[in-house]
Amino acid sequence: MNLKKILVASSNPKKVREIEEILRPLGIEVVLPPEKVEVEETGTTFLENAYLKVKAYFERFGIPALADDSGLVVEAIAPLPGVYSARFHALEEFGREEPVPDADSANNRKLLRVLKGRGDRSAKFVSVVVLYSDEGGLFAEGEVRGRIAQAPRGDKGFGYDPLFIPEGYEKTFAEMEPQEKHKISHRGRALRKLYNLLRDCAKG
């Protein structure tokens, strides 16, 4: 693969920075898309949604594209919220995607309500990263197990971070410094696997 340059198919600057930091040692230039491409995430799995994104961005800009799709899987309602993590509140409330102000908080509140009275609060964050060009694709999965807190705590991170307590910890992702979180996070794990693939591929 011609990998001097990789385009990150995301408009989330935090994600882009994280990816850049992890791939920097490979000498690969990480660039942002010149403009956003609207992609309908119609897949029923993380792999499929990440693939839909990278394919659309690669076809538009002609640069190998990297995307992540990730979400929370809560044991008591698995595979939900899953691929619907970012739209959980709206889908549960309205049966469709509905733009809501402060969707993260709405999703967190919704999840707490759904889990009320349930004993099993175990959950995992899952991430799938895909790198794609017309020469083919690479992908890697990462996950981190944990449990859902009784109430949100912390103001770092995003999404369900204020509710997610990783195994072996007492604090939530939103209470951790980014570097601490990335070391154990689903996305960090998936990206490090992808890094190893890029470095070692077929050196068997």
Which of the residues are catalytic?
A: 69
Sign of CA dihedral 118, 45, 13, 5: positive
In whole angstroms, the minimum distance from the beta carbon of 130 to its own copies comes to 9
| Token digits of residue 170 | 């007492």
Residues numbered 60-79 forming contacts with its own copies, rule: CB under 8 A: none
Pick the closer one to its own copies by CB: 11 or 44.
Answer: 44
Report the alpha-carbon distance of residue 175 to residue 32 in Å, rounded. 28
What secondary structure does DSSP assign to 124-148, as a single string? EEEEEEEEEETTEEEEEEEEEEEEE
Residues in the chain: 204
Residues numbered 102-161 forming contacts with its own copies, rule: CB under 8 A: 135-141
| Segment near its own copies (CB under 8 A); pick from 45-53, 89-97, 106-114, 116-124 | 45-53
1 touches its own copies (CB under 8 A): yes
Pick the closer one to its own copies by CB: 150 or 196.
Answer: 196
Coil vs helix vs strand at 7: strand
Pick the closer one to its own copies by CB: 102 or 134.
Answer: 134
200 touches its own copies (CB under 8 A): yes
Binding string, residues 11-30; x marks residues near its own copies by CB under 8 A: ---------------x-x--
| Token digits of residue 180 | 């601490």
Count of positions on this chain that bind its own copies (CB under 8 A)? 30
Report the alpha-carbon distance of residue 182 to residue 58 in Å, rounded. 27
In whole angstroms, the minimum distance from the beta carbon of 186 to its own copies comes to 14
Report the alpha-carbon distance of residue 170 to residue 83 in Å, rounded. 26
| C-alpha dist (Å) from residue 89 to 18, 32, 68, 78, 125 | 27, 30, 21, 16, 18
Pick the closer one to its own copies by CB: 37 or 47.
Answer: 47
Chain residues that interact with its own copies, rule: CB under 8 A: 1-4, 26, 28, 43-45, 47-48, 51, 135-141, 193-194, 196-204
